[in-house]
Structure 1
Amino acid sequence: MFLLRFKKPWFLSVTFLIALLSTNTYSNQGTPLANYFADTWTTEDGLPHNSINAITQTSDGYLWFATWEGVARYNGSEFRFFERSEQTGIIDSGTRTLVPDSENGLWIAGARGGITYRNHQQWKPQPPAQSMVNHVMKDTKDNLWLAVEGTGVFFRPTQKSDGAPNAHNEVWVLKNKSAYRLLEDSQGRIWAATDSGLYHLNGNSQQDVLAQYNLPNRQVYSVIETRNKELLVATNRGAYVIKGSQALLLHPSLAGATITTLLEDKQNNIWLGTVNMGVFRFAHQKIEKLSADSGLPNNRVLSIFQDLENSIWIGTNGGLMRLRNAPFSSWTKERGLVGDYVRSVFALSPDSLLVGSSEGLSVIEKGLAYSALNQKSAQVSTLSFARRRAGGVWVGTYLNGLMVWQDNQLTPYFNEKNGLPSNEVRAVLEDTKGNLWIGTTTGLVRRNAQGEQTLFTREQGLPGNYIMALSEDTKGQIWVGTGVGVAIITGNEINTLSINAMEGAEYAFGFWPEKDYVWIATDRGLIRYRHKDGHLGLVGRKAGLPIDKLFQVISDNHGSLWLTSNRGIWQVAYDSAQAVADGKQENIDFEHFSQSDGMASAQANGGSNPTAVVMSNGTLWFATAKGVSMINSLRLTEKIARPLPLVLESVFVDGELVDSTQNAAFKPGTSRVAIHYAGLGYVLSSRIQYRTHLVGFEEGWSFRDKGTTAEYTNLPPGHYQLKLSARYPYNDWTPSETLYEFTIQPFIWQTREMQISAFVVLLLLLTAGVKWRLRQLQANELRLKKLVDKQTFALQQQTEELRCLANEDGLTHLPNRRAFDRSLSSTFANAKSQGTSLALAILDIDHFKAINDHYSHLVGDQAIQLIAKELHAMTNDNVHVARWGGEEFTLLIEGIGAHQAISYCDHLREKIANLDYTDLGENFAMTVSIGLAFSDQVRSYEDLLRSADKALYKAKQEGRNRVELI
């Protein structure tokens, strides 16, 4: 199964075509193409055009794409366009080639012979060529070479004075040909791929090299040098390797293909883009093919590129595709499993797995899946597995009782005919004493080594007869999970463990025993049992997990617990789970994995065992509703531990974009500074977390979670440095970098010189007044009193003005964030002490950036003022409104219940959506998303704020223009 994530619903089910032209083992292929996860982009997703002529990555980490409608830069979440303009120096938006250099510069060339160079956000246009430039190359002597459509190849020698190419001195080395690609190899030879062959431009003769190898009349579209110093040439009739005096066809199957572009990846695989057959990958004498039938946006491939994270980007005539090593790989029927609906998995060895599904048994070994049974054995619907001491594996089935799998055969062992209470066996365990435990839907059976059997049901003390999980702890006790609780069996004694006190937990789906603890996956979260005192601790919704029902818990032995559910796989830090269970920590961070991470289905199955296993090689395997999903926890840690490039995207001051390439001094009274940044990681870009520290204002770091904007309002005059750090969850923060520096200038009355002067003047006046008072005591006493009163009044006015500046938002005249924080703290404390209700709503204007971009920042500010006016009109003694910052507002609602608060917020949302905005612009519309949280669900006002913020994020994720709770 080749996993694809498309933006359009009709691509939800698609198979990947793999043409195996020779055999090879899984272990020496590198990453199989079927293990890649694909993402696609088109103009609907932000690209300026669907033809991707070139792809590259500059040393700062940005990805760049050349299209017929300009250049697109990608930061992992959005595209930014650069097109024809005086600023960029691009004379035509049609772009053919992008070539980076070691100085973080980028050469851009294309239609009408346009050439420009970008470095440090500065654009340096170059004199154009005679016609369209297909490729640009800087040689080791810094000469600038250009491959031109229809006219040939020339170079501009480097000027000795400044090292720049001499645009007025063009040296033509090949004329009257269409040149497509240039290459300087490790021997200093310069090659040109043209419509009439391959040319060695600094050789002894200007003759087609391929003709010398009896390959005349070949159109050559690309040429690269492989890591073993051989030339690989793409032609209209196949791809050829030049080895010394020979030119050999790369593979016979490619003989008739028109190859347009080439790439050798870091695993030494060769990728070949074709004009009408899609993409081929050649590795270890094996050819794999990806075409439009299997998900490629278009069969005409224009560019292929491997980024710094080893993802493969493919540019076609119909859009862009990325093949990445997703965290998860999945095996389904399309990859060899007998059935897709997998209920149980079992480790046979470090590199082989037994898989039980509704359609029978499979084995996954060294990446290959096949039937676990020979032709003589019939497949049965499988529920559970356990290791068998005498050899083979115990197999619990849906309709056939308990069976034994050994030597690729299934043999009946125990069923209703010979005493089993039910043929539906959902859990099996052979304990350290040689007892065989069989969990069925109508009771638990124990068979000892002598064949004697004992039935345990409710009558013998079990909490329920429906057995879903069995486990033996380190003390030799048997743990039994049922649909109505947990039992612990020691010998013949049954003790019931009451888990119902943990928020009403009943179902016990799975166990993970340790020396001092047993972890239990339940329908109310993860419960931890402590052996020394029997204490139960819960890691559930109150701790921040967004789900209740967990099917299985396993430890990767590297600091994480992995939890399965109907909504994907959840990873939590082991130490944090312990701290929450002990009551030392309120909230737990988690990482969520689903279909976008390579799982064929996010629905992990439960109610049978084991549904997840840890292999000794560090891989974790999970049973799902569509096959088996595997993740290598060690490889995941290695991948996300790479340093993240951090970049400054833009700076807005009072809503206006400013030049961020240099430090700035902002005018007195600047009320809002918004700094946008990004961490340029693409494989897991949605999971990058950020923290900022504004030196000069904040004492320490501010955690931004996944937010990419740091916004500050009403900063006092002074000099500031914004430091930025980022990380993937559970990893160390990157070393902090000073991302931007700026100064806010003071008003004259705020300068130290003016304050000193005022003090001196005041001192002189007081001295003169004292002397005058000595001369005319009574008269001067009255005048001095009036003067002091006047000065006191002025100081009071100044104090009031300063108080307003510190607590009022300048744009909307609503209370600002600082005033809101004080109000929230005191109001929350009163609500808790008096037992009254308090709701917090965070309101965010949907797509506000698009409003600014389309209508201007002035209109955006007017829109904010209009929203503020509407909110202010709704304030009373029980409703308090403040501007949180940017396009966000907060509402504190006192004294009404949850349903009233939800109704109130929904009414507010509808009112804003239905306002008349014609004064702001034609077809102007505006909606808001609202996140709502309640004080009775949290312990502190900080938690209340975090809950409302999470609810707002959920509202945005669910489609915006809605009210959501957490």
Structure 2
Amino acid sequence: MMKKLQLFLILLVFTLPGCSKKPIPLKLKPNMVSSVSMPWGQALYYSQSRKITCLLVTEDYLWAGTNQGLQQWSLEGNRYQVITSRDGLPDDNVKALTISTSGSVWAATGKGLSSWTNGSWQNRTLPVEGEPTALAATVSGDAVWAGTTKGLAFYVFGRWVVYSSKAHVTALKPNTESGVWLGTKANGLFFCENGTCTPKTSPLQEITAIDMEGDDVWVAGLASDNSPMFVLFRGGKSFVYDAPARVGWIQRYGGNPLMNFGSTIASVVPCMEPGKNSFINRTRKAPCLDALPFSKPLPMRITSVYRTGGNLWVGTETLGVTRYTESDMQQYTADDLVSSNVMGMSLECVPGTKRCFFSAGKNSFVYEHGAGFSPIPLVDHPGWSLSYFVTNPDGVLTAVARNGQGTVNFFERNGDGAWNPRTENPVTMETNDPNVRIRFAHYTKPYIVWVGITTSSSQYNGIQIVNFEKGKVNPPQNYRTPKNKPAQIPDSVKTLYKRGENRYLATNEGLVTLFRGDDSKKILEITSSTSGLPTDIVEDVLVEPSGQVWLATDMGVCIRKFDNTRWLCGTEGPMPDAGHTFTLARDPQTGTIYAAAGSALYRFREGRTETLDAEKFLHNPKVLDMKIDLNGMLWVLHPEALSLVNLSSR
């Protein structure tokens, strides 16, 4: 009969090395790229929304546990999927992963354990209470250790053996036999085997990380006074060192332990010069150790690491997983935040708050300044995507939605923050095109909205005017040219900008202006290469309060100061070097105009043009769309990625 674990805290009495001067703590400079400094401010780069919590690499797959399911990539890169509770997991919040010697993948989730065996997920009932926190498979023998917030159990020969029903497990690391090093939240460090857990002497009360190689065991955590430390167990002895910051993880790489000290990643190496720049040791005759900053570029917000042979796998909060080899690096990401093949984004911010609603593809998110992105759940409406956000004249936040069958619908956000289809006078459009795209939405009245649609359906392609009061959908009608001839809006509409009663449309046939004539006739005027522009291809349009019109075209930026003046384009315009320009944005607070063209961003303020080299200052130089929010954040959309530039000067 195996004995139960009896936990108790052993106070370590240790002696400081004698010295005449007070030791100077080691200071490390951050080398994690949490943001990119640029002349306009700080830029944060996102390529997905799932936060990586744990990693596992098997013979054919990379597994990444996240706060929204278990991601799986084939190592060849030709397959990707997300496994969730719908596929059999107890919960979508995956906390830990391991693989047994028989090849079964185990996942610890917020609501229990599951193992991938014989082609399906089998949920496992733990004999101890608490939320699962850690997993570790034995090096030999088909057995698994499982830790929770309230205990430790060992699965062997098809049954569970309870080692503790009280310990809050924070870390597990198996040795080369059948034992495991156990880290706890408040009771320090133990070594468990053969039914017994033995306390290991150290000043650490909370264990944050454990790693080992050979006979060396590295343990990091916090002392009873919350001082960050790490301990080296070697040759039957233990050596205690002060850490410059809390150590979140330890991973052997390149022959030395790699640790994160707060925002710094460094290898802990033997001192080249004894006593110089070493960690402060708190044990006599402790080996002199130094910190060697990691030499390769690292992604921002690292959350987990894993090693296989000479490969180091790094999981992040927003950038997926990066694999480092001796010679190169490879990134594994998903199209959660920004879907593939999108050409634009929707952004609607709530006045008086730091909250914005964002969509660039199949998923939609709430962004809180300082907190990041959170997916908008549509649990009660599976299959729907909120594609374009807009606030109606009554102040209700609405969204144009679509599903996989090509149906376009309209959702509203209620007072509890939930999104549901509009119930009063609902209207839908059946495009039968699963790739239908919503380019814009603009309310003219509380019950009338103009929607720009790109679809293979000839019935709905272009602008559609939705009248909820009448339950009708029709394209704009009864427009005439200035010479009183019938006119039709081109289907190639990309963006709409409204100023007063006039509407300005960017199309592949030129700039289309819609306005009311003196006798209330609806007038349509097209400005193209035959009437003052160098091209017919207009990508975007905006109009300043003064009436000055800006155009982004495939041949650069054009402006017209007044209705009866000529267009200034190319070398005559404010951005002579722009070339093919894709999008424009205006800061409503300062009036600064921003433009994205090729591999550069431009801004025009106080009569001067400033250029930002996107290849130098942004992770992804290609820009698809750009907007500026009410808090002075510039949103820059890239293929399958997003940059947020916190403008330091507007």
**Which TM-score tier does this pair reach, normalised by the shorter chain?**
0.3 to 0.5
- Please report the TM-score for the alignment, with normalisation by the length of structure 1: 0.30
Q: Larger RCO: Structure 1 or Structure 2 (Cα < 8 Å, ≥ 6 residues apart)?
A: 2
- Please report the TM-score for the alignment, with normalisation by the length of structure 2: 0.42
Bigger share in helix: 1
